[in-house]
Amino acid sequence: MTHPRVDALAGEARGAVEAAGSSADLEAVRVRYLGRQGAITQLLRSLGTLPAEERPVVGAAANEAKRELEALLDARLADALAREKSAQRARDRLDLTLPGRRPPLGAVHPLTRVHDEIVSIFGGLGFSVAEGPEIETDFYNFEALNIPRDHPARDMQDTFYLSDDTLLRTHTSPVQIRTMRAAAGRTPVKIIVPGRVFRRDVPDASHSPVFHQVEGLAVDRHITMGDLKGTLELFAREMFGPKSRIRFRPSFFPFTEPSAEVDVLCFMCGGAGCRACKDGWLEILGSGMVHPKVLRNGGYDPEEVTGWAFGMGIDRIAMLKYGVDDLRLFFDNDLRFLRQFS
């Protein structure tokens, strides 16, 4: 059945469908004519206002126009969605002939770089790497190293205590005792001990509550301070350059006797004196002959064997080697800083 008013509305709707260019346009047409406030929907709702004789004719024509429009919209919508999906696939298609994009590569952290270099240098001299726990007992961290509870040297190491007898190690020196005891009197013993240590320091340009040390230990029959000096001179040349020289200054450490601090000739100014060194020398480590009490605590007879030891800060060596004036830069994870070492 037809009706002039319905035919006009249906023709208008078909024209709108034909003019729609996308699925979004078609949805707008559906809402305009078939939505809750759409033109055909409103016509059907207004049948009650028409004269009684027109209602069947207009109602039948409007329902037929609604069915035709729904079918036309469904067909056009399916076609539009297919075209849009095909266009999307074309846009997303990978061109396998294009060159690939290299992912950004990381770099070895400067502290790890210095750690590995130290291990390599001493490895070439026959030293093996030893490890120990970061949570230590008071005995291994202090007592066995000739630092009893009333020793003033304990004041130099502000310690993180976990209980009366356990703590976060303040240096890597406890591994000396553990290694000597494991060796059960055998010689020679030649180890280095790289690792993290902990002290209750407020972070600033030269202090951190977590930092890194390398301990060195050699125990054998009749080794001397001269052997220690020769070893450290070779280390300095390998680490800081062939023109490097070292000097020993008397010092005190409870676990060595005699003890010495070691300076390296400033590799920035060649010993002339600069902002980094002031007097031409840079302090790099502490060292000395292993104290007889420490040898006994490790299971050795100091009348039969001697030993020497040294300890250096990996962070300190890295600061000197790379000219970094603030320790915190190594721990801030600032990529602008770290990329300089790639």
Task: Write the pLDDT tens digit of every residue in 171-211.
Answer: 999 999 999 999 988 999 999 999 999 998 888 888 889 99
Pair 283, 261: CB distance under 8 Å: yes
Q: Give the per-residue pLDDT at 3.
A: 65
Q: Please tell me the least confidently modeled range out of 130-134, 248-252, 302-306, 335-339.
A: 335-339
CA 199-202-204 angle, 5° bins: 115
DSSP 185-222: T-S-EEEEEEEEEE-----SSS--SEEEEEEEEEEETT
**What is residue 216's predicted lDDT score, i.e. its pLDDT?**
97
Highest mean pLDDT: which range of 35-44, 70-79, 104-113, 247-256: 247-256
Average pLDDT rounded to a whole number, residues 263-276: 75
Cα torsion 129, 232, 251, 273: sign: negative
In the predicted model, is pLDDT for residue 235 greater than 60?
yes
Most confident of 52-61, 147-156, 248-257, 277-286: 248-257
The string of DSSP codes covering 111-172 is HHHHHHHHHHHHHTTTPEE----SEEEHHHHTGGGT--TT-GGGGGS---BSSSSEEE-SSS
Q: Output the pLDDT for position 103.
A: 85
**pLDDT at res. 156:** 62
113-172 pLDDT, tens per residue? Answer: 999 999 999 999 999 999 999 999 999 999 999 998 887 767 666 889 999 899 999 999
Give the tens place of pLDDT for each residue, 302-313: 999 999 999 999
pLDDT mean over 299-303? 94
pTM score over 0.75: no
pLDDT exceeds cutoff 90 at 341: no
pLDDT level of residue 238 (50, 70, 90 thresholds) = very high
Q: How far is CA 139 from CA 144, 262, 269, in A?
A: 6, 28, 44
Q: How far apart are CA 162 and CA 140, in angstroms?
A: 15
The answer to whether 123 and 117 have CB atoms below 8 angstroms apart is no
Considering Cα of 169, then 175, then 178, then 181, what sign does the dihedral take? negative
pLDDT at residue 187, as a whole number: 92
